[in-house]
Chain A
Amino acid sequence: MTADTKTRIDETVKASDVVLFMKGTKEMPQCGFSSRVAGVLNFMGVTYTDVNVLADEDIRQGIKDYSDWPTIPQLYVKGEFVGGCDIFTEMTLSGELDQLFDQKGVTYDKAAADKIREANA
């Protein structure tokens, strides 16, 4: 990863409270795993920045080095790497995601989060 790419990623993850690096966009995901994370964030009414790694090869490779994480999607909250699809799903279902959002001051629809848990209980 070049210094320039690292700076771009750094600025991107710090520019918004919630940033999702994904394949495709939040309106049109192009991978099932990206789609799952974006779909939950959309449903929970979270304001977030989506970064389509398919549109930028430098970012697509660079983000893997940046987080020491080999797969996409990748979620960042307040500049901190949270995890990929598996961890995100676990945290959604366990309620840890709500806790994280509460701690970090991220606004979300609690009732929607509960609905997801009910549907998966």
Chain B
Amino acid sequence: MGVEHEIREKLDAAFSPRLLSVTDESEQHRGHAGWREGGETHFRVEIASDDFAKLSRIERHRAVHRALGSDLVGRIHALALQIEA
């Protein structure tokens, strides 16, 4: 299972988002720190879910980090998050 798919599944399960977009942007970072051959190093996630309504901005990010798990977050180099309630 690819990382992109793994991110999507975990966030889907955790937040039942009404919008979820996961993009592997590794190719745009070719040669940068953390990049490696084969990609799956740099991801961008846009997510919108009612679950975030009561959370502060920092708490929203923490909730997403937790849902993905430290193992996955540790494996990828970069995760850009855009989170909306």
A86 partner, pick from B32, B62, B80, beta carbons under 8 A: B80
A68 close to B62 (CB less than 8 A): yes
- Which B64-85 residues sit within 8 Å CB-CB of chain A? 65, 70, 73-74, 78-82
B61 close to A87 (CB less than 8 A): yes
Please report the total number of B residues contacting A with Cβ < 8 Å. 17
**Contact residues in B for A83 (Cβ distance below 8 Å):** 57-58, 61
B33 within 8 A of A: yes
B32 close to A32 (CB less than 8 A): yes
Interface centre among B33, B65, B81, B82 (most CB of A within 10 A): B33
Please report the total number of A residues contacting B with Cβ < 8 Å. 16
B38 to chain A, nearest CB (A): 19
B73 partner, pick from A31, A70, A85, beta carbons under 8 A: A70
Residues of B within 8 A of A (CB): 29, 32-34, 57-58, 61-62, 65, 70, 73-74, 78-82
A70-B70, A87-B61 known; 5 other A-B pairs, CB under 8 Å?
A31-B32, A71-B78, A84-B61, A86-B80, A87-B58
